[in-house]
Chains A and B, each alone.
Chain A
Amino acid sequence: MKKTKIVLLLIVILTVALTGCWNRRELNDLAIVVGIGIDKKDSHYVFTVQVINQIAIQSQTKVESRAPVVTYRIETDTIFEGIRRLTTVSPRKLFFAHLRLVVLGEVLARQGIEEVVDFLVRDHEFRGDFFFIVARETTAAEVLEIITPAELIPSVSFYRTLSTSARFWAPTHSVQLAPLVTDLLTPGKNPVITGLVVVGNSPSKDSTQNVQKSAPPTQVLLFSIGLFHNGRLVAWLNEGESKGYNYIVNKISSSVAPIDGPDGQNIILEISNSTTKLRSQNQDGRPMIMIEVNTEANLGEINVPIDLKRPGALSDLERSLENKISSYIFEAIAKAKSYQTDVFGFGGVIHRADPQTWKRLQPNWDQEFVNLPVEIVARVKIKKSGDIVTPLREAIQKSKRAQ
């Protein structure tokens, strides 16, 4: 039957077409990009791409002498051109779907990140689940060339550090593509990106020698939060202010907080749970922001003789942690106000609660933000005092005296 033959022919043709031959990317032809660094030098963009070195990380035939990643660098006038040109420096086709980290040089960040973000949103190969980081006081290229100890792939290492530290240590803030774009676009909110510093700039940082010691000479530390205003980096928060920022945006899940004990020595409290509610209130026709922090803490480390069995001892600690948190928050707001950038989304809070007032404030929000009254209420509850009620040091002294 003639018809059957034609259908068969068609099936054969379609089988060829449907295997995706135009798009096939064999695994061994790909260079898996895990990190991109973008710097601005004069009017050029400098691209650094960190690619997994497949030969070095294969588990069976691990070649110790090779670095686990390769970085390629290129200078171009536009970002898109940079990505295209990079394909000429790498022997394999760059594959971006597993990108973990985008590092922006501080110079670029201060000049504006809109173009970079636009490109990352536009190109379908970027999935948007990577983190942004600003290389503080250095270039993105420097950061990406460092070989890290605990993880084979440096970008993955930073990615993990960032997502872990955002969970266990307050002063960092992990930012992915979608929230960044939303913050850039929403009137009444400005973005932040965590900054990263390089410590101990040893000459061997870009070779595997860097990881042959237990304390690598060059390390990368996640540092503080960078404030942006309309896509431009304007200031850095210090550690306390960074914590304050995270308290305000309700991103503290656990952290440690040192507070001053009776005679100036440290008591470390471990924050186990913290939630923050932002509310907007109208005060004689002017909006006001109420920040309400509810924190649960555990006793961590106590270096002072203090008897926790004494009634009121715990509540004293609670009060002083409340003051501490309030002052973090206050400092963070003061810093942001001095740069006229509403990184906390107070504008959004007013918008949601009171659209009419927001319509009036919005055109001049940067100014209004500076004059916006903010009230901070922090409540701390110490849940567990650890397994011992009396600090060990005090117990030892007591028992010695008793003998």
Chain B
Amino acid sequence: MNKNSITHQQFTKIVALDIIGVSILSVPSIVIDIAKQDAWIAALLASFFGLLLAGLLYLFGRLFTGQTLIQFCQHLLGKYLGNGIALLYIFFFFIGSTTLLWDIGQFTTSSVLTDTPRLVINFTYLIIVIASVRLGVVTIARSAEILFLVFLGIYVVFSILILPQIHLENIQPVLEATTPALGQAAFILLSFTSLTLFRLLMFYPQHVPPGRATARAFLVGTLIGNGVLLVIIVLSILALGTQLSPLLAYAGHTLARVISVGQFIERIEGTMTTLWYISMLIRITLYFHCLVVGFAQVVRLSDFRVVTLPLGMIVLLFSLFIYPDFDYAAKWNREVWPLYAFTHGVLFPLLLAIVYWFRNSSLPAAEQKESPSQTS
């Protein structure tokens, strides 16, 4: 096994876990609130666009020839504009890291360890994140491979145990939601899944050799991730209903609470929380990886590890108050974040691809065949 490369299986699992990430925890309530019993249709829509996006990202990544997204910006747009865009990206990574860490703290203090200070929880979790980032992408990929198995095991058990609690009539009538509602629900879902997948461009072109298998890893990972989400959303609708789910901060956690098989297997929500800590870990780790590596590349440090601890300290600090309260977070996730993620996940890459195309069209094109990435 090559020491510096990520296998395609590992890459598939990174994509899947990253997509599942935070969306398995708090997003079902938002989506069900908007699209009611048709939320699963929104999830299908989101999967479709997610697949499209994954394909485009793969093609886009091939333009980099071994660079990261940040280096590509610098290379393509020159010192000032390139670094400008790069800084916007770094700011995005910073926001992503801090808000997700806040989510970890919020979930833990409201549902699991209520009296523990948020600082301690965030600190503990961040230590793991920093440690994995310092060990490098290849280590993250390998841990993703193991964690994915654990995740899948708990997830399958969870989904099966919830089955006795479902009420099929909860999903009727089908197709009642209006088109804007479906669109919005799908957009929000996408913003937590595939719209942030572009972070993989911070290491995928370097560590995963391009080719059919990588493209497949992108698509299969997206499918798995979206499938897991779809099932959670459907189970929330069926077991909790469209009236109760939107009221809950963490529908998935409440879902685990209603598990009761023969009054014997119950009260297992504590075990189930492992699910969220695993899926969040890969997501936060990727964010933080992008943050420090991107920062190091903008200021051209030879080793990104130098800034991990100081930046980690800043992330930890901001994670304590990045959302003043839960209502702010709910409004932000619904109204601002989707657009913000769209800007960085679709708009900027599209602009970069167009610039690339204009620059290269004047040259004798060795890589003209990559150009479809911006046309579709």
Please list the residues of chain A having a beta carbon within 8 angstroms of any beta carbon in chain B.
Answer: 10, 14, 17-18, 20, 22-23, 97, 121, 124, 127-129, 178, 181-182, 185-186, 348, 351-355
Contacts and interface: CB of A to CB of B under 8 A. Distances in A.
A129 B257 CA distance: 9
B115 A23 contact: yes
A181 B254 CA distance: 14
A185 B244 contact: yes
Nearest to A355: B173
B311 to A, nearest CB: 18
Given A22-B113, A23-B114, A181 B243 contact: yes
Interface in B100-136: 110-111, 113-117, 120, 123-124, 127
Interface string B82-104: 00000000000000000000000
Contact of B113 (A10, A20, A129, A355): A20
B9 interface: no
Nearest to B117: A22
Nearest to B246: A185
Contacts of A22: 113, 115-117, 120
A17 B120 contact: yes
Contacts of B110: 124
B172 interface: yes
Contacts of A352: 169, 172-173
Contacts, number: 55
Contacts of B114: 23, 124
A353 B173 contact: yes
A178 B240 contact: yes
B298 to A, nearest CB: 28
Contact of B116 (A10, A23, A97): A23
Contacts of B117: 22
B113 A23 contact: yes
**A-B CB proximity, top 10 nearest:** A185-B243, A352-B172, A22-B116, A355-B173, A22-B115, A182-B241, A23-B113, A182-B243, A23-B115, A352-B173
A18 B111 contact: no
Given A22-B117, A127-B267, A10 B127 contact: yes
B159 interface: no
B116 A181 contact: no
A20 B247 CA distance: 28
B297 interface: no
B206 interface: no
Given A351-B173, A352-B169, A129 B243 contact: no
B266 A129 contact: yes
A74 to B, nearest CB: 22
A14 B122 CA distance: 12
Nearest to B269: A127
A10 B243 CA distance: 45
Contacts of A17: 120, 123-124
A18 B257 CA distance: 23
Contact of B244 (A20, A124, A178, A351): A178
A354 B174 CA distance: 10
B116 A20 contact: yes
Contacts of B116: 20, 22-23
A181 B111 contact: no
Contacts of B127: 10, 14
B258 interface: yes
B176 interface: yes
Nearest to A126: B257
Interface string B244-266: 10010000001001101000001
Contacts of B267: 97, 127
Given A97-B267, A355-B173, 16 more contacts: A17-B123, A17-B124, A20-B116, A22-B115, A22-B116, A23-B113, A121-B247, A124-B114, A128-B254, A128-B258, A129-B260, A178-B244, A181-B244, A182-B243, A352-B169, A353-B173
Q: Which one of B123, B243, B247 has the greatest number of beta carbons of chain A within 10 Å?
A: B243
A186 B243 contact: yes
Contacts of A348: 169
Contacts of A121: 247
Contacts of A127: 257, 267
A129 B258 CA distance: 8
Contacts of A23: 113-116
Q: Which one of A129, A348, A353 has the greatest number of beta carbons of chain B within 10 Å?
A: A129
Contacts of B260: 129
A181 B247 contact: yes
Contacts of B113: 20, 22-23
A140 B258 CA distance: 26
Contacts of A354: 173
A128 B257 contact: yes
Given A185-B244, A186-B243, A18 B266 contact: no
Contacts of A20: 113, 116
A182 B124 contact: no
28 contacts: A10-B127, A14-B124, A17-B123, A17-B124, A18-B124, A20-B113, A22-B113, A22-B116, A23-B113, A23-B116, A97-B267, A121-B247, A124-B110, A124-B111, A124-B114, A128-B254, A128-B257, A129-B257, A129-B258, A129-B266, A178-B244, A178-B258, A181-B243, A182-B243, A185-B243, A185-B244, A186-B241, A353-B173
A359 B172 CA distance: 14
A182 B176 contact: no
A127 B268 CA distance: 11
Nearest to B172: A352
B173 A182 contact: no
A182 B236 CA distance: 13
A216 B173 CA distance: 51
A121 B111 CA distance: 12
Contacts of A186: 241, 243
B35 to A, nearest CB: 14
